[in-house]
């Protein structure tokens, strides 16, 4: 069980340290953790946000525990040198095309979400976000219009195989979870989305037990706060999934609670909180590490088949929250380390 630990920038360092403490406390006999630089810190040390040494470490590992990348000092760099390219590069390079982002409200947090408690109580959602395509990976650049204006462009595209493989992930998840799959697109405007919808409908024929629906992304954003309980699984593209999952985090209380798994064809996976490096609170012991701790649980489940250990971590997080251990993101005053301690105490 060799895990590459890529803590990255800002609160990535702080939250990953707590997840590592939790993993070590499980005393798994074969656990091996190897640190590697990624993001802005890697750029500063090695001249690249995803140095070859880091890729080497990752390729020799069974899974990645990832913190976050992003550093305001690096925002003026050429795009290929910016910290965010590291996470995009890892996802693409390693073929991690399926990003699972569960959003479930923990018992006792129903009053602390951005929704009315009776609405929040119903949320038990999995967002399946495509991670290797869409506008994030299309041709992009700056050009000058015939009229002399500067123009930025980013090409949005999906080919049918890319849609088909993520559709299968969505259908399988929906089958396991409760039977409803909602495919979110913008087929009323975008050709990319029209193909997405056509292919999802094709794939649906293989999953007669799954109730498939389609929703435009603008409506989905609204429905997510109006009645999140209507969704079991949402399958959507890279951009829409990125946005809707940040929104879903506030339906369960905080972005500091949402974990994720990025998977490819095999057991290898990258596990990270859905949030970024949060420069506004970095280095202040204010970050909630629970999303990263829960990502470590997803890693044990998906990459190593350690269901009991994963459930143990999840139960410890739930108990810590039920005991009132809350960071500033949930209106409490527990620090990052204190939250980590509380999870450890409840393991």
Ligand X SMILES: NC(=O)C1=CN([C@@H]2O[C@H](COP(=O)(O)OP(=O)(O)OC[C@H]3O[C@@H](n4cnc5c(N)ncnc54)[C@H](O)[C@@H]3O)[C@@H](O)[C@H]2O)C=CC1
Ligand Y SMILES: CC(C)CC(=O)C(=O)O
Is 288 labelled as part of a ligand binding site? yes
Mark whether 136 is an active-site residue.
Answer: yes
CB of 83 to ligand X, least distance (A): 6
DSSP 171-221: HHHHHHHTSEEEEEE-TTT-HHHHHHHHHHHHHHTT-TTSEEEEEEHHHHH
Residue that the structure tokens 């040390």 belong to: 45
Q: Which does 220 bind (CB under 5 to 8 A by kind): Mg ion, ligand Y, ligand X, none?
A: none
Judged by CB under 5 A, does residue 84 bind Mg ion?
no
154, 161, 218, 345: which one is catalytic? 218
18 close to 31: Cβ distance less than 8 angstroms: no
DSSP state of 105: P
3 close to 32: Cβ distance less than 8 angstroms: yes
Q: Which is nearer to Mg ion, 51 or 276 (CB)?
A: 276
71, 134, 242, 329: which one is catalytic? 242
Pairing of strands 233-236, 180-185: parallel
Mark whether 218 is an active-site residue.
Answer: yes
For ligand X, which residue of 18, 84, 110, 130 counts as binding (CB under 6 A)? 84
Q: Which 228-257 positions form the footprint of ligand X (CB under 6 A)? A: 255-256
* 73 φ, ψ (degrees, to nearest 5): -60, -25
Contacts of 139 (CB under 8 A, 6+ apart): 153, 154, 155
Q: Which 265-324 positions form the footprint of ligand X (CB under 6 A)? A: 272, 275-281, 287-288, 291
For ligand X, which residue of 49, 51, 70, 102 counts as binding (CB under 6 A)? 70
Pairing of strands 2-8, 32-35: parallel
* 241 φ, ψ (degrees, to nearest 5): -65, -35
Q: Which 84-113 positions form the footprint of ligand Y (CB under 6 A)? A: 84, 87-88
E strands, the chain, are 2-8, 32-35, 63-68, 98-104, 124-130, 140-144, 150-154, 180-185, 211-216, 233-236, 259-263, 269-273
- List the structure tokens of 61: 């590992």
92, 175, 177, 246: which one is catalytic? 246
- List the structure tokens of 140: 């992009």
Q: Which 238-257 positions form the footprint of Mg ion (CB under 5 A)? A: 242
9, 185, 186, 271: which one is catalytic? 186
Q: Which does 88 bind (CB under 5 to 8 A by kind): ligand X, ligand Y, Mg ion, none?
A: ligand Y
184 close to 127: Cβ distance less than 8 angstroms: no
For ligand Y, which residue of 20, 74, 274, 296 counts as binding (CB under 6 A)? 274
* 3 φ, ψ (degrees, to nearest 5): -115, 125
Judged by CB under 6 A, does residue 7 bind ligand X?
no
Q: Which 213-242 positions form the footprint of ligand Y (CB under 6 A)? A: 242
As to burial, measured by CB atoms within 10 angstroms (0-12 exposed, 13-18 middle, 19+ buried), residue 280 is exposed
Pairing of strands 269-273, 259-263: antiparallel
Is 279 labelled as part of a ligand binding site? yes
Q: Which is nearer to ligand Y, 253 or 335 (CB)?
A: 253
Judged by CB under 6 A, does residue 335 bind ligand X?
no
Site string for ligand X, 187-216 (x = CB under 6 A): ------------------------------
Judged by CB under 6 A, does residue 38 bind ligand Y?
no
Output the known binding site: 91, 101, 129, 218, 242, 246, 276-288
**What is the binding site for ligand X (CB under 6 A)?**
11, 15, 68-70, 84, 87, 255-256, 272, 275-281, 287-288, 291, 327, 329
Output the known binding site for Mg(2+): 218, 242, 246
**What is the binding site for Mg ion (CB under 5 A)?**
242
Residues catalogued as catalytic: 136, 186, 218, 242, 246
**What is the binding site for ligand Y (CB under 6 A)?**
84, 87-88, 242, 274, 276
């Amino acid at each position: 069980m060799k895990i590459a630990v890529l803590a990255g920038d800002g609160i990535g360092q702080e939250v990953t340290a707590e997840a590592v403490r939790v993993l070590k406390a499980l005393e798994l006999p074969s656990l091996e953790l190897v640190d590697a630089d990624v993001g802005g810190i890697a750029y500063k040390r090695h001249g690249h946000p995803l140095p070859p040494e880091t890729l080497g470490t990752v390729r020799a590992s069974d899974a990645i525990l990832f913190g976050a990348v992003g550093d305001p000092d690096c925002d003026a760099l050429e795009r290929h040198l910016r910290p965010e390219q590291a996470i995009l590069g890892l996802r693409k390079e390693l073929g991690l095309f399926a990003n699972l982002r569960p959003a479930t409200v923990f018992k006792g947090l129903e009053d602390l979400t951005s929704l009315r408690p009776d609405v929040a109580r119903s949320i038990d959602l999995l967002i399946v976000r495509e991670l290797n395509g869409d506008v994030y990976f299309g041709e992009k650049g700056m050009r000058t219009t015939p009229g002399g204006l500067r123009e930025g462009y980013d090409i949005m595209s999906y080919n049918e195989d890319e849609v088909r493989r993520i559709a299968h992930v969505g259908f399988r998840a929906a089958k396991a979870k409760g039977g409803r799959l909602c495919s979110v697109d913008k087929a009323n405007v975008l050709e990319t989305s029209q193909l997405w919808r056509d292919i999802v409908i094709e794939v649906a024929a293989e999953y007669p037990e799954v109730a498939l629906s389609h929703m435009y992304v603008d409506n989905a954003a609204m429905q997510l706060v109006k009645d999140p309980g209507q969704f079991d699984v949402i399958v959507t593209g890279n951009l829409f999934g990125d946005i809707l999952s940040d929104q879903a985090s506030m339906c369960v209380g905080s972005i500091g609670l949402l974990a994720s798994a990025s998977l490819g064809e095999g057991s290898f996976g990258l596990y990270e909180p859905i949030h970024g490096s949060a420069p506004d609170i970095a280095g202040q012991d204010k970050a909630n590490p629970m999303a990263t701790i829960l990502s470590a649980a997803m890693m044990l489940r998906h990459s190593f088949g350690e269901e009991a250990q994963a459930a143990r971590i999840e139960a410890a997080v739930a108990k810590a929250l039920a005991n009132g251990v809350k960071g500033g993101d949930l209106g409490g005053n527990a620090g990052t380390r204190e939250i980590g301690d509380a999870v450890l105490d409840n393991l």
